[in-house]
Structure 1
Amino acid sequence: MAEAAFPASSARPRRRLTLRRVFASRVVSIALYAIIIWLIFRTARTGAEAMGYNWQWYRVPQYFLRRTEGGYELGELVTGLGASLLLSSVAFLLALIVGLAVALLRLSDLVVGKAVARVFLEIVRNMPLLVLLYVFYYVGGPIFGFDRYTASVLCLGVFHGALVSEIFRAGINSVGRGQWEAAKSIGMTRGQSYRYIILPQSIRFMLPPLTGEAVNMIKSSAIVSVIAVAELTTAGRNIISDTYMSFEIWFTVALVYLVVTLCLSVFVSRLEQRHAVKT
């Protein structure tokens, strides 16, 4: 009984040490973020005072939630944030589909498939996102009838799909060759091997970089404001054109993006830990 209890008792200090390290790292991260935000605000305040700018922070809350005669209604920044998240989610789903298809083509034995995937990657990865957006909207729009929203989703999905394909390819290649041979020995086809053996094992390798791409997708969605797609950055620009509160609105928009991406990073880190425990 004493020997059986020893491992459990020795595991407790390790858990406490791990929790302390995690807590300490989060405290340090929060402190660094606070210092950086304070420095930015301090620099902006000094510059604004030199310009004679009149701060109007008291007007910002109404763009999140305002009270009307019929009750409370969401402000422009909240509706813009919802539109950004919806746009990013749809585009990221498309990026996953495109990325998986391109990765499978590159890993296939088809010469034509490999050539098509390579040409696609070289074109998309070497083209700026803004130029690609113009191509989809101003060229693809008149030809195929894309509206602003469709062109934005396709542009973001294709651009990040090229990046996601490399993540899928690296994750699939990280699975040992013995797994392929084991799947083949029990009579599985190549598709069944991918579905039941390779892709489930490669998830733990792909999850961290896919998280980074999801965060980048949210940040990249701001670029669609140049073609007047309704989202958070566009809402901020509209508010500034009406109120001339450039500093307050842009700082608020930047803070909203920061909070969203940090929450996504924390959520996925928890998901990684849970997946690591199960595996």
Structure 2
Amino acid sequence: MTDIKKTDPADRPPVPPASSAAPQSLKAIPVRHYGRYVSAVVAIAALVAIVYAFGQGRINWGAVPEYFFDDRIMTGVGKTLLLTALSMVIGIVGGVLLAVMRLSKNPVTSSIAWFYIWFFRGTPVLVQLFVWFNLGLVFEYINLGPIYKDYWSSFMTPLLTALLGLGLNEAAYMAEICRAGLLSVDEGQTEASHALGMSHGRTLWRVVIPQAMRVIVPPTGNEVINMLKTTSLVAAVQFYELFKFAQDIGQSSGAPVEMYFLAAAWYLIMTSVLSVGQFYLERYYARGSTRSLPPTPLQKVRAVLLSLGRPKGGVA
């Protein structure tokens, strides 16, 4: 047996007597961030300088509210939204098709998709618009056999030029976005679907694409907003949308700069609305991937209002 050595109480260190004084509370001194004050002063000074500089110009600010809801401007807003929607439909459908072709094991389809993406991503969209618009200089007729035959100038209208120029260019960018989304899905999902007897097309539509949407949706929302702003380029091919109408009104009214400000204000309104829609769409597809969904703008406002009625350091 092992002997247990007992400690003599006399050998133990003395216990200090308990202090009768109450513990003093620590006084926290916040760290001063002088750089924040300096940057705030610089930002305010720059803002004041910009406002002052614009105030010196001979700008007729009254023309902006005068024409803000003009019939031509509202028609341009509607055509801009319609062109954005149709171009994105062409871009998304073409992008999904090109992404599937790019991921195909068939070298022919994969090479065609690669060449398409390489060409349309490598050339400016304005150049593509001018190419479509001026093809009538080298092609007098468009002849599709018994299906369709007409003069090129009658066939290639400004609307069709805008749709081809914007939609086909967008398809190249959407192809890379869709390809990244499809590659983000684990291959085990596809193998398990095939083991259950599902065809390749059904697996792609029912298993792969729904999971890839979490990766595809955020950049697609950015592409929609970018497409809305890119539609202003079609004014160069004589398609009347918001910018073209604003440009014509500016020339006839003698206030071109003011009409550019008006068009910029409408673009800001439309992109802001699309940004809100993008937020809720991303929030919808984030279900299941995050433990808690990000608060909506209304929830943030409600939280701020509730916090204002509570005393600091306690619960109301």
TM-score (norm 2): 0.69
After TM superposition, give the deviation of residue 62 of structure 1 in Å: 3.5
After TM superposition, give the deviation of residue 160 of structure 1 in Å: 0.8
Q: Partner of 1:3 in structure 2?
A: none
1:60 equivalent in alignment to 2:70 = no
Which ranges of 4 or more aligned residues in structure 1 deviate by more than 2 Å? Answer: 34-46, 55-65, 140-145
Q: Distance in 2 between matches of 1:248 and 1:39?
A: 20
Contact kept in structure 2, 1:80 and 1:233, CA below 8 Å: yes
Q: Distance in 2 between matches of 1:242 and 1:35?
A: 37
Contact kept in structure 1, 2:68 and 2:262, CA below 8 Å: no
Paired residue total: 232
Alignment of 1:231-270 (within 5 A): 231-270=241-280
After TM superposition, give the deviation of residue 45 of structure 1 in Å: 3.1
Alignment of 1:113-192 (within 5 A): 113-139=109-135, 143-144=141-142, 145-192=155-202
Q: Distance in 1 between matches of 2:230 and 2:48?
A: 25
Distance 1:36 1:135, change over 3 A: farther
Structure (1 or 2) with the greater helix fraction: 1
After TM superposition, give the deviation of residue 278 of structure 1 in Å: 5.7
* TM-superposition CA deviations, 1:99-138 (whole Å, max 9, x none): 1111010011111101111111111111111110011111
After TM superposition, give the deviation of residue 39 of structure 1 in Å: 6.8
Contact kept in structure 2, 1:179 and 1:197, CA below 8 Å: yes
Q: Partner of 1:196 in structure 2?
A: 206
5+ long unaligned stretches in structure 1: 1-33, 66-73
After TM superposition, give the deviation of residue 276 of structure 1 in Å: 1.8
Q: Distance in 1 between matches of 2:268 and 2:81?
A: 13
Distance 1:78 1:169, change over 3 A: same
Distance 1:124 1:239, change over 3 A: same
Contact kept in structure 1, 2:213 and 2:285, CA below 8 Å: no
Q: What is the identity, as a one-letter code, of the residue corresponding to 2:256? A: S
After TM superposition, give the deviation of residue 142 of structure 1 in Å: 5.1
Q: What is the identity, as a one-letter code, of the residue corresponding to 1:62? A: E
Q: What is the identity, as a one-letter code, of the residue corresponding to 1:177? A: E
Q: Distance in 1 between matches of 2:50 and 2:170?
A: 30
Distance 1:217 1:39, change over 3 A: farther
Contact kept in structure 2, 1:62 and 1:75, CA below 8 Å: no
1:97 equivalent in alignment to 2:93 = yes
Q: What is the identity, as a one-letter code, of the residue corresponding to 1:45? A: G
Contact kept in structure 2, 1:96 and 1:161, CA below 8 Å: yes
Q: Distance in 2 between matches of 1:266 and 1:36?
A: 29
SS in 2 for 1:188: coil
Q: Partner of 1:229 in structure 2?
A: 239
5+ long unaligned stretches in structure 2: 1-43, 143-154, 290-316
Worse-matched range after superposition: 244-253 or 80-89: 244-253
Q: Distance in 1 between matches of 2:140 and 2:229?
A: 27
After TM superposition, give the deviation of residue 177 of structure 1 in Å: 0.9
* TM-superposition CA deviations, 1:212-254 (whole Å, max 9, x none): 1001110110000011101000011101110121222111111
Q: Distance in 1 between matches of 2:231 and 2:272?
A: 16
Q: What is the identity, as a one-letter code, of the residue corresponding to 1:139? A: L
Q: Distance in 2 between matches of 1:160 and 1:35?
A: 41
Q: Partner of 1:70 in structure 2?
A: none
SS in 1 for 2:240: coil
Contact kept in structure 2, 1:174 and 1:202, CA below 8 Å: yes
Q: Partner of 1:208 in structure 2?
A: 218
Q: Distance in 1 between matches of 2:228 and 2:169?
A: 13
Alignment of 1:55-94 (within 5 A): 55-65=59-69, 74-94=70-90
After TM superposition, give the deviation of residue 41 of structure 1 in Å: 5.1
